[in-house]
Amino acid sequence: MRFAGVAVKAGTIHMAVVERDADQDGFGVGIDSAFSRLTPPSGPRTASGLRELKERVQQEIRDWDIRSVTLVDTTKYVQWKYADAYARVLSLSAVMYAAAEANLPYVEVKPASIGKHLRTPRLETLDPATIAFATAPKYWTTGGLEAYAAAAFGARLAV
Amino acid sequence: MRLPLSELGWRSDSVAAEHTLRLNFESINSLPQGSNEVRLYHDEILDCDRVGKRFDLTMVEATVLPEASTLQSIRHPNVLEIVSAARVEGYSDPLMQVIEVITPYYPQGSITDALLRGERFSGPRAMAIMGNALRGIRELHAGHGILHRDLKSGNILLTDAPIHALIADLGVAGRMDADGFAPAVKNPTLYSPPELFTGGNLSVASDLYPLGHILRELLGGPFPYGRYSREQVRESLRAGQNPLTDEDAALPVWVPSRLRKIHAKLTATDPKKRYQTARELGQDLEKVALADWREVGPYVWDLASSELAGRAYRVEATTNPQGFLLSIKKYSGSKLRRPQGHVDVQVSTLADKEAREVFDRANALALS
């Protein structure tokens, strides 16, 4: 079974997939080829831009036969620039909308809870081997780590 | 012409022999499309138009999936949905097994229909059509393991936003084997990949190849279809070449470099040098921002910064003995002024790298 994890960083949706079966030990296996980075459409802010982004997220979900979507909640509560907040809310909305349309469970989890599950209190120090990567995959340090970790957390909830 | 109702009847034998379900369709028109009979109907009960396409199942190649069941299993906003299917009886040859597949009617028709009506697509609309059509293709490939094998501008239907485009006519679609190949079906068109004849199999890269030509038509208008005979197309493909002339295959001068690279990768003769998945292509297309360019005169192009803003910038090419002097100008009310830092550029042809950089800069300015 495959589970998606999402981290929104710098206005980009990082979406990772972890595979884990019910009788499988460990935290699952990250699927490098399923990783995607989606950016909101450039240009003027339009309502159709949200739909377009949702469609792109949904196509990823369709391609990989996902069972749940887990989003890493932010710990940043102050000093938001409006442009940053707008990009994050747009991205979150697209992910939530896509999950709802696909009738998939959607949860938001704090990094601390994910770290606790993966036995890595400081999530940013997560070893790629935790999800069966020999070396850190591309984009690991720029959003991939959190997305994979969220996917592994989602697998734990469902399996 | 009103068809005999029995041709489209649904008989519910399990309830009572004397009860017959009928689709009370009036045939309005026959549509010129492909090798199968296609009719436009009016459904009198639901008061809407439908399209019916007939297939003789005995004539379908073994590697081809029956269109009715294939379409029925695919539910995607960018793939043409099937409303119903019926057996058609009454043909003189008793061996024929004719079915008619009924789909909704989309009055805008296909990209080809629109181009032949003289319609042209703005850059943003062209990109929206490409992006949505690609999602439909991606669903066929990744979601169902199916190759379309006959993608062309005539098989992409247009709809209003937000759907924009629908993949249609899966009449020669085939299932991929474990290695991602399906046998080549020899139905050469201007859009066919060279490996149609030079290799025995088609792949996802083969299915994506036609999108390069479709992109070119969306941005630059229709190919001169009449100039290419079926035999010419077949011969070029047999030689492993693109049948289109360089002139017909060329993108308009204002197309940004990033989109040119995508086009070149799509239409590479060697399938290994092309995009290997629709997902990979989609990710590259999403990075392209294309302003709304319009050629308003000889060597003069205007572009809008957004759908609401109207004219914003102009690129002008003045001919001189050395070639062209290219300048970017910004509309300031009704006047045109050179934006700060954008000096005129001398080029020998509009295909020069320096000329493309001018259009790239103008595109970026319009989208900033």
Determine, for residues B135 and A63 on separate chains, whether the beta-carbon distance falls below 8 Å.
Answer: no
- Shared domain for B77 and B172, answered yes or no, is no
Determine, for residues B162 and A42 on separate chains, whether the beta-carbon distance falls below 8 Å.
Answer: no
Tokens (6 digits) for B349 = 């042809």
Q: Chain A interface residues facing chain B, Cβ-Cβ under 8 Å?
A: 36-39, 41-44, 48, 51-52, 55-56, 59, 62-63
- Mean per-residue pLDDT of chain B: 87
Percentage of residues in chain B having pLDDT higher than 70: 88
- Shared domain for B21 and B131, answered yes or no, is no
Q: Please give the pLDDT value at position B26.
A: 67
The full 3-state SS of chain A, as one line of letters, equals CEEEEEEEECCEEEEEEEECCCCCCCCCEECHHHCEEECCCCCCCCHHHHHHHHHHHHHHHHHHCEEEEEEECCCCCCCCCHHHHHHHHHHHHHHHHHHHHCCCCEEEECHHHHHHHCCCCCHHHCCHHHHCCCCCCCCHHHCHHHHHHHHHHHHHHHC
**Mean pLDDT computed over B277-291:** 92
- Shared domain for B195 and B211, answered yes or no, is yes
If one counts the domains in chain B, the total is 3
How would residue A57 be classed by pLDDT, with cut points 50, 70 and 90?
A: very high
**Mean pLDDT computed over B185-203:** 91
Determine, for residues B283 and A59 on separate chains, whether the beta-carbon distance falls below 8 Å.
Answer: no
| ipTM for the assembly | 0.77
In angstroms, what CA-CA distances link B99 with B44, B55, B364?
21, 5, 52
Pick the last residue of a domain from B240, B265, B286.
Answer: B286
- Shared domain for B185 and B298, answered yes or no, is no
Q: What are phi and psi of B285, to 5 degrees?
A: -65, -35
Pick the last residue of a domain from B104, B132, B165.
Answer: B104
How would residue B31 be classed by pLDDT, with cut points 50, 70 and 90?
A: low
Q: Is the pTM of this model over 0.90?
A: no
Q: Please give the pLDDT value at position B205.
A: 98
For residue A51, list chain B residues with Cβ-Cβ distance below 8 A: 162
- Shared domain for B264 and B355, answered yes or no, is no
- Shared domain for B244 and B310, answered yes or no, is no
**Sequence-distant contacts of B238-243: CB under 8 A, at least 24 apart:** B238/B197, B238/B198, B240/B194, B240/B195, B240/B197, B240/B198, B240/B269, B241/B194, B241/B269, B242/B194, B242/B267, B242/B269, B243/B190
**Mean pLDDT computed over A102-129:** 94
Gap from B358 CA to chain A (nearest CA, Å): 20
- Shared domain for B93 and B54, answered yes or no, is yes
If one counts the domains in chain A, the total is 1
Choose the weakest-confidence range: A49-53, B61-65, B185-189, B228-232. B61-65
Partner residue opposite A62 with nearest CB, options B143, B162, B306: B143
d(CA A88, CA B355): 38
Residue B30 above 80 pLDDT? no
Q: Please give the pLDDT value at position B133.
A: 97
Tell me, yes or no, if B142 comes closer than 8 A to chain A by beta carbon. yes
Partner residue opposite A43 with nearest CB, options B77, B131, B289: B289
- Shared domain for B194 and B342, answered yes or no, is no
Look up the CATH number of the domain holding residue A121.
Answer: 3.30.420.10
Domain residue limits at B162: 111-286
- Among chain A residues, CA nearest to B367: A43
In angstroms, what CA-CA distances link A139 with A16, A25, A115, B1, B143?
10, 26, 19, 62, 26
Domain residue limits at A65: 2-158
Residues 271-310 (B) with a CB less than 8 A from some CB of A:
279, 282-283, 286-287, 289, 306-308
- Shared domain for B72 and B45, answered yes or no, is yes
Tokens (6 digits) for B206 = 């083969």
Gap from B279 CA to chain A (nearest CA, Å): 8
Look up the CATH number of the domain holding residue B145.
Answer: 1.10.510.10
